[in-house]
Chain A
């Protein structure tokens, strides 16, 4: 069973969690990730997006295809998407 360090019913907590995750992919970024800024502006390349999607998928136990990140290209939008997915599905064993 997946355990989360946040309340999965609360999109704001999902958002903070995603901000932290993303920061791991942007070690050179000297500031906090702005949830309303386009991820592309942070220089996230296509392989990184696939990896990031895989990471979110792995940690949450819900399918997150890289295209979800393309279609919800800010952390805030992505958090909304993830919240909907989590509400709609029970997490699978990870």
Chain B
């Protein structure tokens, strides 16, 4: 993986006067101007190659790597990550449609550094994709497009935009189609950019829109099939929602870096700040949130390759859960930073307020937390524990979460709109049963096992509460949304347990010894499930103490800067036909 290389480059670019110099980026934020230098540096490094799958000539062959790259950028500046990473979202429909569309053409543009926008939202539509009124009608061999897409990231800077258009006046799930528009190839005066919108966060990003007035596009602008647009977009969103959570991971990295520095510098009452128990415990909670977010994000990224038919659930959980978890983490960090979290001119800490503002967009775009949670709520009865015995031929996530496991190529033909099962959460009973008592000292191992058993009980309670429910249509009740939220917490706990089981390396080192990181995650999960364990405070206290005392140890359970190695275990999976 080239993550380490990118990280080193960004560190260099962050020196005074460099394209990632915080002063330069802050100036862009204040002036609401696009961070063009930083985006150009990423272009020169070759980031666009990662927006294009290997089969179309790019370097994108594993989502976990892509998440790691975008996370590194987000950890420096979330606006840049959103502004540049948007091209992944813009292109994904073409990759998912495969040969039914202009994938080769698009690949050439992206590899040449062209930004691509993704226009789904319309002024009156919001989250309701079926309300879209931008219309495409046949015209000769091509199409005429009329209507507006707004608000859209990169809508003005991007010459290319993938849009969802109504092709059947009646609308409906087979009434929409995706088109790739190349603005340069449309007749003059038929495509008009809508003005950049001032925003609360990511102020430098190009958040604008586009208006099409009988804009003529050629037949080869069609992506996928006529009427296949909604299905294509919903499947593409399963991938982009997983990618989006890397923005939250990066925000968490940034915040924890500031907190760590603060803990190292700040003295109060003649002592280091970490002498205050409340500070240690709060810092430890923030660290545990980062680990749990990593476990979910990484599991989701691997799941995309391994169990793509389950992604409707996995991606909804990831997108609803991780940005919310990190939003809470930023609150905790902001609390601890005190005035320095609020003042924007204090050297080194001024970035926190910007970061917090920038992150607020992550839970709302690409399907808000509530849109994802509502989607999950609708199908929960189908995911009820024990409803299906074991998945036919499904490998445990422990197998595909191993460090050396090389993910199978992403097979977008296996994506489905409703998941037949959830192998991650389905593995929970086995993961708990197989927790060995021999990692760590006996006391710690017992505590880990007891937290894991408490999670299993909470999961069984969820199962019992789901037993009486049936799939329902329309807007889910508040009670159903709370069930979905409990489902997310259980899923997160299972992901953490699976990661622990898959990676012996995580049983050691400052965070791993005695299973500390895992206990932090389980404690958070149990709190989220209203069964907060009495041991939680002590676990957070240790995590917080470590944050302050080990300045050189990355706050991460993922070692995604390791060089790419061929699979040593021969575990290249052959996707089921």
Contact B389–A93 (Cβ < 8 Å):
yes
A66–B174 CA distance with the chains assembled, in angstroms: 11
Query: Quick check: is B141 within 8 A (CB to CB) of the other chain?
Result: no
Task: Provide the bound-state CA to CA distance between A40 and B367, in Å.
Answer: 23
Determine if A54 and B474 form an interchain contact, defined as CB atoms under 8 angstroms apart.
no
**CB neighbours of A63 from chain B (8 A):** 420
User: B231 near A: Cβ within 8 Å?
Assistant: yes
Tell whether A58 pairs with B375 under 8 Å between CB atoms, given A44-B473, A53-B418: no
A46 and B367 CA atoms in complex are apart in Å by 14
Is B438's CB within 8 Å of the partner chain A?
Answer: no
Residues of chain B within 8 A (CB-CB) of A46 are 129-130, 173, 230
Residues of B within 8 A of A51 (CB): 378-379, 471-473
CA–CA, A54 to B418, complex, Å? 7
Binary interface encoding of chain A residues 21-58 relative to chain B, with 1 for a CB under 8 A from any of its CBs, else 0: 00001000000000000001000111111111111011
* A40 and B170 contacting across the interface, CB-CB below 8 Å: yes
Interface centre among B374, B472, B475 (most CB of A within 10 A): B472
A3 close to chain B: CB less than 8 A: no
State whether A52 and B418 are in contact (beta carbons under 8 Å apart), knowing that A46-B130, A58-B382, A93-B388 are contacts in the complex: no
A51 to B374, CA, bound (A): 11
Q: Does B105 contact A (CB under 8 A)?
A: no
- A54-B473 CB under 8 A given contacts A65-B416, A65-B417: no
A54:B173 contact, CB within 8 angstroms:
no
**Which B373-406 residues have C-beta < 8 A from chain A?**
374-375, 378-379, 381-382, 387-389
A70 adjacent to chain B (CB < 8 Å): yes
Interfacial chain A residues near B472, Cβ < 8 Å? 25, 51
Q: Once bound together, how far apart are the Cα atoms of A62 and B173, in whole Å?
A: 22
Residue among A44, A48, A51, A53 having the largest count of chain B Cβ atoms under 10 Å: A51
Interface 0/1 of B473-486, CB less than 8 Å to A: 11110000000000
Does chain A have a CB within 8 A of B461? no
Q: Which residues of A contact B388 (CB under 8 A)?
A: 92-94
Q: Which of B208-247 contact A (CB under 8 A)?
A: 230-231
In the complex, which residues of chain A have a beta carbon less than 8 angstroms from the beta carbon of B374?
47
B470 at the interface (CB under 8 A from A): yes
Q: When chains A and B are docked, how far (Å) is the Cα of A6 from the Cα of B314?
A: 35
A7 at the binding interface (Cβ < 8 Å) = no
A93, B475: Cα distance in complex, Å: 30
Q: Within the assembled complex, what's the spacing in Å between the Cα atoms of A49 and B374? A: 14
Which of B379, B389, B475 is the most central at the interface, judged by chain A CB atoms within 10 Å of its CB?
B379
Using known A-B contacts A40-B170, A70-B231, determine if residue A47 contacts B474 with beta carbons closer than 8 Å. Answer: yes
For the complex formed, measure the closest distance between the CB of B502 and the CB atoms of chain A, giving whole angstroms: 28
In the complex, per-residue mask of B430-460: 1 if CB is within 8 Å of any chain A CB, else 0: 0000000000000000000000000000000
Interface residues of B in 27-80 (CB under 8 A from A): none
B389 CB to nearest chain A CB (Å): 6
Known: A47-B374, A63-B420, A67-B231. A54 touches B471 (CB 8 A): yes
Residue of A54, A70, A71, A94 with highest tally of chain B CB at under 10 A: A54
A49 touches B173 (CB 8 A): yes
CA distance A85 to B476 in the complex (A): 30
Query: Does B172 sit at the interface, judged by CB under 8 A?
Result: yes
Chain A interface extent, by class: 20 to 34
On whether A50 and B417 interact (CB within 8 A), knowing A45-B473, A58-B387, A92-B388, the answer reads: yes
> Are A50 and B379 in touch, CB under 8 angstroms?
yes
C-alpha gap A48/B473 in the complex (Å): 4
Task: Give the contacting residue for B382; candidates A49, A57, A67; CB below 8 A.
Answer: A57
> Which of A25, A67, A92 gathers the greatest number of chain B CB atoms within 10 Å?
A67
Q: Is the CB of A66 within 8 A of B375?
A: no
With A57-B382, A58-B382 given, is the CB distance from A65 to B418 under 8 Å? yes
Contact with A along B409-435 (1 / 0, CB 8 A): 000000011101000000000000000
The docked-state distance in angstroms from the alpha carbon of A7 to that of B470 is: 23
Q: Which residues of A contact B173 (CB under 8 A)?
A: 40, 46, 49, 66-67, 70
User: With the chains together, A48 CA to B382 CA distance in Å?
Assistant: 14
A42 to B472, CA, bound (A): 16
CA distance A55 to B378 in the complex (A): 10
Encode B113-134 as 1/0 by CB contact (under 8 A) with A: 0000000000000000110000
- A67 and B417 contact, CB distance less than 8 A: yes
Select one of B129, B174, B382, B389 contacting A54, CB under 8 A. Answer: B382
Q: Are B471 and A45 in contact (CB under 8 A)?
A: no
Contact with B along A51-91 (1 / 0, CB 8 A): 11111011000010111001101000000000000000000
Query: Which of chain B's residues 157-193 have a Cβ closer than 8 Å to chain A?
Result: 170, 172-174
Residues of A bordering B, CB below 8 Å: 25, 40, 44-55, 57-58, 63, 65-67, 70-71, 73, 92-94
Question: Beyond A47-B473, A51-B471, A65-B417: 17 further Cβ-contacts under 8 Å?
Answer: A25-B472, A40-B172, A45-B130, A45-B474, A46-B129, A47-B378, A48-B474, A49-B473, A51-B473, A52-B471, A55-B470, A55-B471, A57-B418, A58-B381, A67-B231, A70-B173, A93-B388
